[in-house]
C-alpha cells in the first residue's frame, strides 16, 4: 500500500494462468538463478510447522472426518449419475450425515485455531524463530513454477482438504493445464469429470504421456468429433443471435417498453431433474409444461429417444440440460 496506494490487488484471473505470478519480485530467473530464498516449510495440507509440534489426536480425527467426507462426495456423484435407487441403505445413511461431518470438521479446525492462538500468546519475542524454514535456490522455484501439472495436483490436494463444487475444480484445473489438456486431447474428459478423483485421473494421464511420449497416439477421429461439436455450437449461437434480433424487432414494432419481453418467454434452460421428471408425464402434460417454461428450446432434443431428428435444421435451441454440479464455462465468472 505504501508503494501503490492501493488497498488490495485483484489477481485471480492472472493467478489461474500463472500461479507463480509474483515470483519475479524475488529476482530474475537467469541473472539471479543462484540466489537463495528463505521460505517457511509449509505443507499444502496446512500441517503445522512449529518447533516441538508432534501430530496428535486432533490430526487423526481430522483425517478420519475428511476420509468420510470424500466417501460422501463419491456417493453424491453416484446419485447424480444413476439416481437414488443406485445406492444401498448404508450409503443413504452416510449421505444424510454430511452436514454433521462438516460441522465436526469445522469444530476440530476451530479448536486447532484456538490452540495455536493460545500458544502464540505464550511465545516470547523470539517466537519468530519458532517456525521451520528452508533455503531454496531461485532457479528451483522458477522450475517448479513452470510445472503446471505439479501445481494442479497441489491444488487438488487442497480441494480434498477444503471441498468445493466440482464445477469450480474443473474450471480451475482447466485454466491451469489448458495447454497440456489440449495437446493430449483430454480437455473434454476433464470438463466431463464429476468428481475430484476423475479430474486427478485426467492429470495422471497427462503425466504418463509426458513421461512416456510414445504412449500417446493422436486420435484423428476424436479431433474430427471435437471440430464437429465446435461447429455445431457456433451454429447454435448464430441461430440464437438471429432469434434474439427477431424478438427485439417484434417488441419494437409493438411499441413495448421492454425490448427483451419476448426473449424472456420460454427461455429457461431445463435442468437434468426437470427432463427426468417430464419423461414420466403423458404427452399432453409434457407439452403443456414445456411450453410454459422452455418453449424456446427443442423438446425432442431433450425428451425423444435419439434426440431431435431435424438436427441443424431445427428452429428451436439445442442446449444441454443444466446440471448444478457439471462444469459450464458460460456459468463461471472469470477467475
Say what the pLDDT of residue 122 is.
52
Least confident of 106-115, 203-212, 252-261, 301-310: 106-115
Mean pLDDT of 143-166: 85
DSSP state of 4: T
Q: Considering the chain, what is the average pLDDT of its residues?
A: 79
Mean pLDDT of 305-312: 77
Produce one character per residue of 257-273: b if its CB has 16 or more CB atoms within 10 Å, e if not: eeeeebbeebbebbebe
- Nearest Cα to 175, choosing from 60, 66, 335? 335
- List the grid coordinates of 150: 505439479
- Closest C-alpha to 25, from 51, 3, 50: 3
Region 193-211: what's the mean pLDDT?
91
Q: Quickly list H helices, the chain.
A: 12-17, 57-82, 89-96, 98-122, 138-145, 148-161, 166-176, 178-183, 187-191, 196-211, 220-253, 261-264, 272-278, 283-293, 299-303
What are the residues whose beta carbons fall under 8 Å from the beta carbon of 76, sequence distance 6 or more? Answer: 95, 98
Closest CA to 147 of 211, 88, 78: 211
Which DSSP category does 228 fall into? H
Query: pTM of the full predicted structure?
Result: 0.50
Cβ contacts of 334 within 8 Å, gap of 6 or more: 13
Can you tell me the mean pLDDT for 94-109?
79
Distance CA 149, CA 200 (A): 10
Q: What are phi and psi of 40, to 5 degrees?
A: -70, 145
> Which has the closest alpha carbon to 259: 247, 271, 270, 269?
247
Range with lowest mean pLDDT among 65-69, 119-123, 255-259: 119-123
pLDDT for res 119 = 56
Give yes or no for residue 329 having a pLDDT over 60.
Answer: no
Distance CA 247, CA 241 (A): 10
* Residue 252 banded pLDDT, cuts 50, 70, 90: very high
Q: Is the pLDDT of residue 145 over 90?
A: no
Cell numbers placing 109: 479446525
- Average of pLDDT values for 32-40? 84
Amino acid at each position: 500500500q505504501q508503494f501503490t496506494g492501493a488497498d488490495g490487488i485483484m489477481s485471480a484471473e492472472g493467478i489461474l494462468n500463472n500461479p507463480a505470478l509474483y515470483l519475479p519480485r524475488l529476482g530474475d530467473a537467469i541473472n539471479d538463478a543462484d540466489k537463495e530464498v528463505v521460505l517457511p516449510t509449509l505443507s499444502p495440507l496446512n500441517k503445522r510447522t512449529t518447533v516441538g509440534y508432534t501430530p496428535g489426536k486432533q490430526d487423526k480425527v481430522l483425517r478420519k472426518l475428511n476420509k468420510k467426507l470424500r466417501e460422501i462426495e463419491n456417493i453424491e456423484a453416484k446419485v447424480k449419475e444413476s439416481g437414488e435407487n443406485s445406492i444401498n441403505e448404508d450409503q443413504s445413511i452416510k449421505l444424510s450425515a454430511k452436514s454433521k461431518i462438516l460441522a465436526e470438521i469445522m469444530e476440530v479446525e476451530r479448536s486447532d485455531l484456538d490452540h495455536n492462538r493460545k500458544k502464540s500468546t505464550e511465545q516470547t519475542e523470539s517466537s519468530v524463530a519458532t517456525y521451520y524454514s528452508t533455503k531454496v535456490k531461485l532457479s528451483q522455484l522458477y522450475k517448479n513454477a513452470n510445472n503446471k501439472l505439479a501445481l494442479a495436483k497441489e491444488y487438488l490436494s487442497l480441494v480434498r482438504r477444503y471441498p468445493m463444487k466440482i464445477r469450480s475444480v474443473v474450471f480451475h484445473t482447466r485454466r491451469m493445464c489448458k495447454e497440456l489438456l489440449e495437446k493430449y486431447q483430454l480437455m473434454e474428459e476433464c470438463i466431463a469429470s464429476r468428481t475430484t478423483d476423475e479430474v486427478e485421473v485426467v492429470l495422471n494421464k497427462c503425466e504418463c504421456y509426458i513421461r512416456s511420449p510414445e504412449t500417446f497416439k493422436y486420435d484423428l477421429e476424436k479431433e474430427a468429433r471435437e471440430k464437429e461439436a465446435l461447429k455445431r455450437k457456433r451454429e447454435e449461437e448464430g441461430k440464437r443471435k438471429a432469434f434474439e434480433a427477431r424478438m427485439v424487432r417484434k417488441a419494437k414494432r409493438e411499441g413495448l417498453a421492454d425490448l427483451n419481453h419476448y426473449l424472456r418467454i420460454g427461455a429457461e434452460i431445463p435442468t437434468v431433474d426437470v427432463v427426468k421428471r417430464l419423461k414420466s408425464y403423458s404427452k399432453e402434460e409434457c407439452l403443456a409444461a414445456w411450453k410454459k417454461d422452455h418453449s424456446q428450446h427443442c423438446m425432442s432434443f431433450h425428451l425423444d429417444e435419439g434426440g431431435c431428428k431435424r438436427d441443424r435444421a431445427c428452429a428451436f435451441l439445442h442446449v444441454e440440460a443444466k446440471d448444478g454440479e457439471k462444469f459450464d464455462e458460460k456459468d463461471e465468472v472469470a477467475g
